[in-house]
Structure 1
Amino acid sequence: MILNYKTLPLATLILLSTTSVFATTGYFMHGYGVKAQGNAGTSIASFNDALTIANNPAGLSWVGERLDVGASIFKPDRSAKITANAAGANGNFDGNGREYFVIPEVAYNHLVNDKVALGLAIYGNGGMNTGYKRNPFSAFGNQGTAGVDLSQIFISPAISWKYTDHQSIGIASNILYQRFEAKGINGFAGFSQDGSSLSNRGHDSSTGIGARIGWAGQFYHDRLTLGANYSSKIKADKFDRYQGLFAEQGGFDVPESYGVGASFKVTPKLALAADVLRINYSDVDSIGHTFDVNQIMQGNPFGSKNGPGFGWKDINVYKVGASYQANSKLTLRAGYSHNDQPIAKDQTFLNILAPGVVQDHISVGATWNIDPHQELTVAYTHALEKEVKGSQSIPNAFGGGEADLKMSQDVLGLSYGYKF
């Protein structure tokens, strides 16, 4: 079975039919591939399946020829609270307009020879969704349901070259397709350079392309594996329908990220892994620019080159995981990850729309080998509830006071793998 011109459109259609995705390390996925999710995302030096393209494409040299198909169900719980606001915005607000999200994934790896592997992966990179039936910004002239809906999907062809018996290098192109919608914030049109392109314009889409490179090496009698990866910033087309919201007339790029990892076989059955990843959110103006009313009044409204953003900071992500071969049929996994907080306490007001505040994730998973060719994998992750309390978060121009953000999340993944 080969993922060819007949099967690729079907796989693409499955992923594009997913209207939203929701992620945990800011708005990126905490792990790509259900096996990696069971280890809390440790995957830069731990290669389990063809979804290694999304983590470290050099891993294709080590996973064999295989096809992997899976899906994860996300259930985020997001909410906000406004207090001490003189404009009458006080209250508790439930952002769960939609409760469940399904994120499919598919990847294939073909061994050309003992040196070269070719692969293809299609997967959700990340996203954000909120839906407030009770509009938290109604006191400022906004009506109807409020929220945002962002989804990002990558199509990634890849190649890996095993240039020695113990080292490989890989490269994948990240072909981006993303969609966005904002609702219920038309009342802020006076703070935009184009108030007609700020909110309630339906879904808009854009595309872009970037690259991911990776390296992997095995040492100490193949008990120690080291890995490194780098994903370039993707300069995406602008969201024209929202050129009055995002900085640079609708710009919304994908930030660069990079990391290192290690995996060590403690015993023939037990392996431990650890990753450190960096995501540079602040390098994307529409994400990294702060929301500052003084800057708006000085000629930098929403949508302008130096216009406001969500004020997200760069973050480091730390992951540890363990896998244990219980018997010839069953592999067990567990992991924990922690990331820095991307949202500052004085930036919570606008981030009511995008409360990506969770920091700690606990994961478990297992793989059952049905026969020498087929396997089933399941993984569960709980993102612990996190609250960020605002501090000088609502400008005086909007009545002052504080906006507090809260979120937790549950993720259940299931995948099928076929080894040729």
Structure 2
Amino acid sequence: MIGVEQFRLGGLVAPGPDGALEPVSSHGNEYATGIGAGMGVLWTPTSLVSLGISYFTKTWFTALPGYKDDVLSPSGGRTDSPSRYGIGVAIRPLRGLTIALDYLRIEWSGAAGYNTPTTWGYSDQNVGRVGVSYDVNGKWTLRAGYSFANNNVDSNHTVANVYGPGISPRAVTVGATYAIDRNNLITAAFEYDIPTTIVGTGPSLGTNIRATYQVYTAGYTHRF
């Protein structure tokens, strides 16, 4: 796995050397490259059941030069992608119906830039997901899903996460695929993240963050 990362910061106010709030200088767009690896196994012992496991190392990124001496100094200017592993099962109890369950572990505590108390302070996440897919006929496939997890942001780090409040640990999704013919398909999906609020405590007392997300997806697939 090869990654390219862009980071740009502007308008951030943070404690300075004397503890007083002061603006953090923007260094514009900075870029970093990273490398990691992943592997997985899918086993179908019968036509009714499939089992899968996967593991991805973290993606190690180079330092973002302009920010390594100020806002990202605790991690040496690096923001790595976390390692993760998971296991899942898919069951096909009826013709055209698939029910899938999986578990995913995301290890933020080992990802530079996210894991230190003076940056975003992310903690590890355990994620559970359930999904259903049903082939109505030769043209239409309907899908629905639900995911849930412990929050990776705690109440002591709401100030640090004001500019990137990825704090919605529960989401529901629906979607459908329409087969124009054997080789061409159109897919649409909608995700609604259940609104989440975190009330700041300790060093973040007085700063509360709330997030509501909706994601709309449309896609086209051509089979060769």
Structure-1-length-normalised TM-score = 0.50
Q: CA deviation at 1:187?
A: 5.3
User: How many Å separate the matches in 2 of 1:393 and 1:262?
Assistant: 42
Q: Aligned partners of 1:318 and 1:257: how far apart in 2?
A: 13
Alignment length (residue pairs): 220
Q: Which residue of 1 aligns with 2:206?
A: 402
Label 1:214 to 1:191 Cα distance change in 2 as closer, same or farther (>3 A). Answer: farther
Partner of residue 241, structure 1: 66
Whether the 8 Å CA contact 1:358–1:408 is kept in 2: the answer is: yes
Q: Structure 1 stretches of 5 or more lacking a match?
A: 1-173, 291-307, 395-400
Deviation at 1:389, TM superposition (A): 1.0
Taking a change above 3 Å as real, the CA distance of residues 348 and 187 of structure 1, as seen in their structure-2 partners, is: closer
RMSD of Structure 2 on Structure 1 (CA): 1.8
Aligned counterpart for 2:186 among listed residues 354, 363, 376:
376
Secondary structure of 1:393 counterpart: helix
* Aligned partner of residue 241 in structure 1, secondary structure: helix
Query: Deviation of residue 248 (structure 1)?
Result: 3.1
Aligned equivalents of 1:408, 1:266: Cα separation in 2:
35
Separation of aligned partners in 2, 1:239 and 1:365: 38
**1:201: how far off?**
1.1
**Equivalent of 2:87 in 260, 285, 294:** 260
Task: Give the fraction of aligned pairs with identical amino acids, expressed as a percent.
Answer: 28
What do residues 189-240 of structure 1 show as CA deviations (whole Å, max 9, x unaligned)? 4379xx99x53111111001111101000023x2100001111111101011
The corresponding residue for 1:414 is 218
Amino acid at match of 1:352: V
- Paired residue secondary structure (2:37): strand
2:203 and 2:141 map into 1 onto residues whose CA distance is 47
TM superposition shift of 1:354: 2.1
How far residue 368 of structure 1 moved from its aligned partner, in angstroms, is 0.5
Answer 1 or 2: higher relative contact order, Cα 8 Å, separation at least 6.
1
Q: Any idea what the Cα deviations from partners look like across 1:89-123, whole Å, max 9, x if unmatched?
A: xxxxxxxxxxxxxxxxxxxxxxxxxxxxxxxxxxx
**Take 2:91 and 2:155, find their aligned partners in 1: how far apart are those partners?**
39
CA distance in 2, matches of 1:383, 1:210: 29
The partner residue of 1:216 within 42, 56, 72 is 42
Partner of 1:286: 113
Question: Where has structure 1 moved over 2 Å in runs of 4 or more?
Answer: 185-192
Q: Answer whether contact 1:392 1:402 (CA < 8 A) is retained.
A: no
Cα distance change of structure 1 residues 376 and 191 upon mapping to structure 2, 3 Å threshold: farther
Letter in 1 for 2:146: Y
Distance in 2, matches of 1:257 and 1:179, equals: 22
Q: Against the structure 1 CA distance between its residues 254 and 187, is the aligned structure 2 distance closer, same or farther, given a 3 Å change threshold? A: closer
Matches within 5 A, 1:8-407: 174-185=1-12, 188-190=15-17, 198-220=24-46, 222-243=47-68, 244-246=70-72, 247-290=74-117, 308-394=118-204, 401-407=205-211
Contact 2:188 2:219 in 1 (8 A): yes
TM-score, normalisation: structure 2: 0.93
